[in-house]
Structure formats: structure tokens, C-alpha cells
Amino acid sequence: MTTINKKRRLGRNVSIVGAGMSAFGAFKEKDSRDLFSEAFQEMMGHMDQGIDIEDIECGYIGNYSSDLFEHQGHTAPIMADWLGMTPVPMTRIENACASSGSALREGVMAIASGMYDIVLVGGVEKMTNLATDQVTDVLASAADGLYEVPSGLTFPGIFGALAKAHMDRYETNLDHLLKVAIKNHHNGALNPKAQFNVTIQSLMERRKSRAQERGQPVPDWQTDMDFLNDAQANPWIAWPLRLYDCAPITDGGSCVLLVASEIAGNFTDKPIHIAGIGQATGRPLHDAEELTSLSSAKAAAAQAYEMAGVTPQDINLAEVHDCFTIAEIIATEDLGFFAPGEGPRAVDEGRTARTGDHPINTSGGLKAKGHPVGASGVAQVIEIFHQLRGEAGERQVPNANLEFGLTHNVGGTGGTCVVNILRRG
């Protein structure tokens, strides 16, 4: 493909000046409107120098399938009405679990085009009103219905196949996968918005205490790894993936405010700039060149790096799409942080921990923070926004010189990948 490697530049620079997200979790009483409003109100209430809602000129909502989850289409104008923003144009962007990653790209281009100066970009998904088997079915409709779905695989099976391919080709083993879960829960425990705001260690202790309280035999787990290796506590879902290798089903909303960089100073002294954006499509898995990598991720990353003028080694931290533990390992290789097959060793060596040289998913990732699919891409951006501004609280990366952060947001089986690179102002 000749055009994909072209040099791409925005006509105007774009910055992020505000961010908000709802709590992520399972909320019986909340629908999409509630979740998105919660995110929006948090953002509006935390703008460094305030903003009038009437100054927002345009909006984008990433959402995978309010159609199937809530039997509600045409979600964007409904949100505009709910937030009191009519007649401002609002558009829904759908690229499966990469919907709000793509929405951010549309918001960036809308400003760069010259049409707008101030644009709202968010994402939302309400998932827990359906039973787990129904959610699995809705998510499966993000795979190719002609090629992938008839194989009988749903997403745990698909990512199980990628994990098996990685294990066959490289030194990857089951412990590597579990260590990704342990790390991300460790980060999630420091994130008050996370669905699993708890370490695996604490989950284990809770289970032991509960057994004791009930007078049941107390399991003989000494470490979190013992717990995760117990097939009763951590059952197989789709070999080699177990329950704790999978991101949860989540309700949540997220949003950021984008502005033309030349006016960012009107809103904050600490704007975060869009340095590079990349998006690419990939072929269904039966037609993929290999199963140990996503071609769309490599293409999107190449675009974003080229545009930002940086290399993978310039990236100080990243939020990557860990819908399953193996997906995080593959992402760190596709993004060039580690060579192909070296991702697992990096996990072993703690390089992807919050205190490592390549911190990955300091928010807890999709695994612990939760994965309301349409909201996840912007939620990743929000974590980088706070980290680069040095306001991530207990989970702040211990590096005073953070400059570049990256987000990696995957849709389906890699049909879409969006990579954004953010830079501290």
C-alpha cells in the first residue's frame, strides 16, 4: 500500500484541556445517559479555568452498540439533548472496541480542518443489563460474520488462539499471562474509578477470610500466583486463557475536551498536545499474515510515530488494549517497545510495571479498570492526560520528566486499531 506511509500533518495543532470519566463498574440503576452525563459533569467541574457549555461547538460519541445493548440507536443527538447542548452537532462513531479511539481522531481532524475550535469527544457503553452469554454474542458481532463468527469462536476463543500461537512461536508461558493480570490489578488498586480497585493478592485474602468465616476449608494459597493457578479460583475460559486473563463486562462513560492549541492557554496552563494520530484496518484472522501480531496495530503505530516524530523508545508510558492478557503482550511488541517475542520477558522483569522503564496500563488497563467498550479509547487518553500533567495521584509514574504518552485501542480482532501519541505542553 503506497499511501499508508505518507507523511501526514494536521493543518492546526490540537490540545486536550479537560477530561472526565464516570466510575467504571456494573451499575444496575444507570443507563448510557447517566454514565455519559457523569463523565461530562466531572469534566466540566474540573476545568482548570472553567468553561461555558455554550462554548462547545461540536461533539463525537464513541459507542459500539447501544443498538444491541439498549435497543437505542441515534445515541449522539440524544446525548446532546440530555446534556443541554442542542443544536450543537453530535455524531456517533463506531469501530467496535476502538470506537472512542476513532472518535478522538475525528475530533482532532474537526479542529484541524478549521471548522471548529472547541470539540467534545467521549465514549459510552452500557453492557451489564444483558446476561453474560448475550454480551458475548453482542461482542462477537464485532468479528467478521462471514469468516470469523462461523468458526464458532467468540472473543475469548479468538484471543486464546493468539495466545497459543504466541506460546508456540516464542518462550511465552501461562505465568507470563497471569503476571500481566497481577500487574494491572496492582495498578487498578490505585485507581478509585476502576471496576476492580483491588489487587489479586487482596482478592485472594478476601476469599480466604470468607471461607474461614463460613467454616469452610481455607485454601492453601500463599501467593497471588498460587491463587491464579487454582482452577477453582481462576477457571479456564478458553485455553490458555483463564478468568483473570479476561477484561470484565463494564458500564462506563468517558470524555475529553479538545481545543485548537492556539487557544489552549485560555483553558489551562497544562494542556496536553496531540502529537500523532494513527488508525488502520486489518484483515480478518483467517487471512492474517500471522497470529502473533496485529497488522492494524503496526500500521497505526507507524503513522502515529511518523507524525509525532518520535520512536517507540521516546514513549514514557502507554495505555494499551488489554482486553485479554495476551493482547497486552502482543501490543507492547506491535508498538515496538520490545522486539517480537520479547514482550513476555519484559513482563517477567517488571519493565512494564508502573516503576519500570516502559510503564503499561497504569490505570489498571481494561483488565482492572474495566472495559465499557465504546468508552475505553477515551478512558485510555484520560489516564495519559493525568499522568503527563502529574496529577495521577497514588499511581503517578515516578518520572519527573514525562513527555510522551501513547494509547493503543483495538476494535474486534484487529479490524481496527487506533494509536494516539500525546505530548506534555
Footprint on residues 139-178 left by its own copies (CB under 8 A):
141-146
Report d(CA 6, CA 15) in Å as an integer: 23
State the minimum distance, in angstroms, from the CB of residue 371 to its own copies: 16
Return the residues of window 288-317 that contact its own copies according to CB under 8 A. Answer: 295-296, 299-300
Preceding peptide of 359 cis, ω within 30° = no
- Residue 129 interacts with its own copies (CB under 8 A)? no
Which of 70, 245 has the CB closer to its own copies? Answer: 70
- Residue 266 interacts with its own copies (CB under 8 A)? no
- Residue 2 interacts with its own copies (CB under 8 A)? yes
- Cell, residue 287: 487471512
Q: Which stretch binds its own copies (CB under 8 A): 134-142, 206-214, 312-320, 322-330?
A: 134-142
Beta pairing class for 241-242 and 236-238: antiparallel
φ and ψ at residue 197, rounded to 5 degrees: -85, 55
Q: Which stretch binds its own copies (CB under 8 A): 135-143, 156-164, 172-180, 229-237?
A: 135-143
State the minimum distance, in angstroms, from the CB of residue 378 to its own copies: 15
State the minimum distance, in angstroms, from the CB of residue 335 to its own copies: 16
Which of 288, 397 has the CB closer to its own copies? Answer: 288
Q: Which of 108, 291, 378, 392 binds its own copies (CB under 8 A)?
A: 108
- Residue 379 interacts with its own copies (CB under 8 A)? no
User: Do 286 and 147 contact (CB within 8 A), yes or no?
Assistant: yes
How buried is 357 (Cβ within 10 angstroms: 0-12 exposed, 13-18 middle, 19+ buried)? middle
Amino acid identity of 231?
A: A
- Cell, residue 112: 484541524
Q: At a CB cut-off of 8 Å and minimum separation 6, what does 216 contact?
A: none
Straight-line distance from the first to the last Cα atom of the chain, in angstroms, rounded to the nearest whole number: 34
- Residue 93 interacts with its own copies (CB under 8 A)? yes
Preceding peptide of 240 cis, ω within 30° = yes
Which of 77, 364 has the CB closer to its own copies? Answer: 77
DSSP for 162-211 reads: HHHHHHHHSS--HHHHHHHHHHHHHHHTT-TT-TT-S-HHHHHHHHHHHH
Q: Which of 22, 65, 191, 261 binds its own copies (CB under 8 A)?
A: 65
Which of 76, 264 has the CB closer to its own copies? Answer: 76
Report d(CA 211, CA 205) in Å as an integer: 10
Q: Where does residue 26 fall: left (phi above 0), alpha (psi -120 to 50 degrees), or beta otherwise?
A: beta
- Hey, which residues are catalytic here? 97, 371
- Residue 400 interacts with its own copies (CB under 8 A)? no
Return the residues of window 24-53 that contact its own copies according to CB under 8 A. Answer: 33
Q: Which residues pair with 278 in a beta bridge?
A: 419
- Residue 382 interacts with its own copies (CB under 8 A)? no
- Residue 115 interacts with its own copies (CB under 8 A)? yes
Q: Which of 112, 158, 228, 406 binds its own copies (CB under 8 A)?
A: 112
State the minimum distance, in angstroms, from the CB of residue 323 to its own copies: 14
With CA atoms as reference, report the closest residue to 123 among 320, 408, 374.
374
State the minimum distance, in angstroms, from the CB of residue 222 to its own copies: 43
- Residue 280 interacts with its own copies (CB under 8 A)? yes
**CB hemisphere CA count around 183 (13 angstroms):** 28
Q: Which of 240, 253, 284, 364 binds its own copies (CB under 8 A)?
A: 284
Q: Which of 6, 152, 215, 398 binds its own copies (CB under 8 A)?
A: 6
State the minimum distance, in angstroms, from the CB of residue 6 to its own copies: 7
